[in-house]
Amino acid sequence: MSLRGMPVYETGVDGIGIQFSDIFSSRIGKQIVGKAGTWPTPYDKSAQFLATPYFSAWLVKTGPIDTSGATNINVEIEFRVADPADPGYARKGAIYWVNPKTSRAISFRNESCNISLKGPSTVHLQRIAKSDLLALARGATTGKGKEIDMNITCPTELQGQKLTYWFNPKGAVGTAPGVLENTAVPGGANNVGIILKKNNLPVKFFDTDAYTIPSLSLNQDISFTADYYMIDPAITDGPVKAVLEVVIQED
């Protein structure tokens, strides 16, 4: 099975897989899915590698969950850097090791909360002229953006519990917080992206701690805005497109 174009690995529990971020290319706000294998690193010396790299791992439902066999997850993920010309390189150069595991038998619900977009699945912003975007300060509200409302419904048994949600871009992100790069290619506008804001602040991508609903009701909404963002003044005309998923987790 693959997700986001990358493989999902087994955990030992039927129906539950795992993915993890690549510590060499990921950073806070830019999560790149990792995979097993061997390839050149982006560094030529160990001093260039972050002392505390950005790493995250997440579980993926791959099919019907069956805990009649294994009931705990215990996975080892290791990153190594070494010269393949060295005959013993496969046993050398361990730089980062993690052990995602559960401390007790896995339990799961047959029902969970659901999240859906209120209205059409595609959100259309108003058209904006290049001259109007250039006249604004970078990151300023253009007046052409749109509020996005999403609805969360939950089963009765989860009422009053805490829910966490976070924003996962489905394409490249800009260097500025909350900015999604344009995925409308070919022919898309150059140096124009989409900025997402919540409570007038850029959203934090891949942050699993920033956004919560402390006490769930059976039905509630979350809202954020999408607007044009000038990445660089050398912009060109064309369509602008970005794709995002919002993930929810009952705590």
Lowest-confidence pick of 85-99, 126-140, 153-167, 192-206:
85-99
Q: What is the pLDDT of residue 196?
A: 97
- Strand partners for 167: 205, 246
Q: Tell me which of 98, 125, 148 is where a domain ends.
A: 98
Residues 87 and 173 in one domain: no
Residues 83 and 126 in one domain: no
Q: Give yes or no for residue 15 having a pLDDT over 80.
A: yes
CB atoms closer than 10 angstroms to residue 18: 19
Domain hosting 198: range is 114-250
For residue 82 the two structure tokens come to 């070494």
Residues 150 and 219 in one domain: yes
Q: What is the pLDDT of residue 57?
A: 87
Residues 170 and 76 in one domain: no
Q: What is the pLDDT of residue 165?
A: 94
Q: What is the pLDDT of residue 73?
A: 85
For residue 15 the two structure tokens come to 């129906």
Pairwise CA distance, residues 132 & 42, whole Å: 39
Our count of domains for the chain comes to 2
Q: What is the pLDDT of residue 176?
A: 93
Assigned domain for 106 exists: no
Assigned domain for 69 exists: yes
Assigned domain for 108 exists: no
Residues 169 and 219 in one domain: yes
Residues 131 and 195 in one domain: yes
Pairwise CA distance, residues 152 & 187, whole Å: 36
Residues 87 and 30 in one domain: yes
Assigned domain for 103 exists: no
Residues 127 and 216 in one domain: yes
Cα 211-179-49 angle, rounded to 5 deg: 85
Residues 72 and 126 in one domain: no
Residues 82 and 124 in one domain: no
Mean pLDDT in residue range 239-250: 91
pLDDT in tens, 37-62: 877 777 766 667 666 677 888 888 88
Q: Give yes or no for residue 99 having a pLDDT over 70.
A: yes
Pairwise CA distance, residues 101 & 108, whole Å: 16
CB atoms closer than 10 angstroms to residue 166: 19
Residue 235, exposed/middle/buried by CB under 10 A (0-12, 13-18, 19+)? middle
pLDDT in tens, 183-207: 988 889 999 999 999 999 999 998 8
Pairwise CA distance, residues 167 & 180, whole Å: 11
Residues 16 and 118 in one domain: no
Residues 188 and 72 in one domain: no
Mean pLDDT in residue range 164-193: 91
Assigned domain for 109 exists: no
pLDDT in tens, 26-36: 776 677 888 88
Residue 5, C-beta contacts closer than 8 angstroms, at least 6 positions apart: 33
> What single DSSP character describes residue 87?
T
Beta strands 192-198 and 211-213, pairing class:
unpaired
For residue 35 the two structure tokens come to 């995979």
Q: What is the pLDDT of residue 45?
A: 66
How many percent of the chain have pLDDT more than 90?
44
pLDDT in tens, 100-144: 877 777 777 777 889 999 988 899 999 999 999 999 999 899 999
